[in-house]
Chain A
Amino acid sequence: MERRASRREFLRAAGSVAAGLGLGSTVSATPARATPAEMEEAIRKVVGSATITPGRVKLDLPPLIENGNAVPLTVDVASPMTGADHVRAIHVFTQKNPQPNVASFHLGPRAGRARVATRVRLADSQAVVAICELSDGSFWSASADVVVTLAACLEDGI
């Protein structure tokens, strides 16, 4: 009787210790992830109070990504790129990377064509958003959903 009680107590104690450890390790192992709300906030910081209209921007990303460490990304904006009507900037954001900002590209009429390409890191399956700012002050956007098999940013270093 006495022995059984102590065994139960021991298991209970062990269980709570394990739970404590588990909780502790998830807290330390999970890097800070941005949330969609944080992406909204980051977008607002760039855009201000202007309205963002979907369209005119073409965001090209592979839909299924094997390695999130180097994902080819192309943003193409339909614009004549003249002095009166051109793309001023292209901003890229992600939903669930540790930081929502990816890059900002500043162009002008001398770019000739509003098209930029680079390679990005993606930490999770998520939505990627590209926003372009035109010379008339309007903002246009495009979004792409991607599935990432091997996430970037999370593996340990040396």
Chain B
Amino acid sequence: MANALINVPPRAKRGEIIEIKTLISHTMETGFRRTQLGAPIPRDIIRRFACVYNGTEVFRAELHPAISANPFIVFSTVAAESGTLEFHWTGDNGFSVTQSAPILVE
């Protein structure tokens, strides 16, 4: 249901700083809106995002309702060794998505 787009350079030089862009489809319902009948719309957001590089967490973000729908996060990391980057999004109503991307470090 949730589509995630990840942009990781497939290969990098050792020690190079690489930029990672992630985008995931999610409404990020704030919990502050109401229906036209006045009933509050319950909150439904992604609370946490983490990037794990070969088992080590290198980046983590805690998100609040003020993050736009379809959260787009850009960060960077040092290309240390070849392996995989895992991306975890977790949130309200048991939302949990994991995606991974390989990286080749020369």
- Residues of A bordering B, CB below 8 Å: 28, 31-32, 69-71, 74, 94, 97-99, 101-108, 110-113, 115-122, 152-158
Contact A120 B62 (CB under 8 A): no
Q: Say yes or no: A103-B62 contact (C-beta < 8 A), given A118-B71, A120-B67, A157-B33.
A: yes
Chain B hits for A32, CB < 8 A: 32
Chain B hits for A155, CB < 8 A: 33
Does B101 touch A at the CB level, under 8 Å? Answer: no
Q: How far, in Å, is A103 (CB) from chain B's closest CB?
A: 5
- Residues of B bordering A, CB below 8 Å: 17-18, 29-30, 32-36, 38, 41, 53, 56, 58-69, 71-78, 80
How would you classify the secondary structure of chain B's contact residues: helix, strand, loop or mixed? strand
Closest B residue to A69 by CB, please name it.
Answer: B68
Contact B61 A106 (CB under 8 A): yes
Q: How far, in Å, is A66 (CB) from chain B's closest CB?
A: 14
Chain A hits for B17, CB < 8 A: 112-113
Chain B hits for A102, CB < 8 A: 64, 66-67
Contact B35 A157 (CB under 8 A): yes
Contact A111 B61 (CB under 8 A): no
What are the 10 A-B residue pairs with the smallest beta carbon separation, nearest first? Answer: A112-B17, A117-B74, A112-B78, A119-B68, A102-B66, A70-B68, A106-B60, A104-B62, A101-B64, A110-B58
Chain A hits for B34, CB < 8 A: 156-157
In addition to A103-B61, A116-B74, 4 A-B residue pairs with Cβ atoms within 8 Å of each other are A110-B80, A119-B67, A153-B32, A153-B65
Q: Which of A28, A112, A156 contacts B36 (CB 8 A)?
A: A156
